Amino acid sequence: MRPSQRLDATFAALADPTRRAILARLASGEAPVTELAKPFAMSQPAISKHLKVLERAGLISLGRDAQRRPRRLEAKPLAEANGWLEGYRRFWEGSFQRLDALLNEMKAKGKKHPRPKRGDHR
């Protein structure tokens, strides 16, 4: 899978709140499907579909215990998504810093030249 396809798959998988909740649970350690399904009011096949989406995106993998088939979080796709988002964070941070500088400059100019009060004709 090309990097842009991996990123697309990651964001598509993260678009669903159920899948995000599954990933949040797996962040504390691997878990079997039955445990992952407990908090949700949906069928086992529906949970399995969510898990397949997460697996195809590379966000989770099967653990070593073949009988229990626990799932575990895979961090690499999340790190790639974070790296992509980081560029935009830097952009916005720079924009806000420039805005702050402009506002401070405007405040400083305003203190040097106070506005005349109403009725004050100079």
Look at domain 3-75 and name its CATH class.
Answer: mainly alpha
Span 45-101, pLDDT tens digits: 999 999 999 999 999 998 876 677 899 999 999 999 999 999 888 888 888 888 988
Q: Which residues contact 64 (CB under 8 A, 6 or more apart)?
A: none
Question: Tokens 């949906």 — which residue?
Answer: 42
Span 9-52, pLDDT tens digits: 999 999 999 999 999 999 999 999 999 999 999 998 999 999 99
- Give the DSSP letter of residue 37: H
Span 42-52, pLDDT tens digits: 998 999 999 99
In angstroms, the CA 21 to CA 27 distance is 10
Listed by start position, the domains of the chain span: 3-75
Q: What is the per-residue pLDDT for 114?
A: 64
In three-state secondary structure terms, 39 is: coil
CA 116 to chain CA mean position, Å: 50
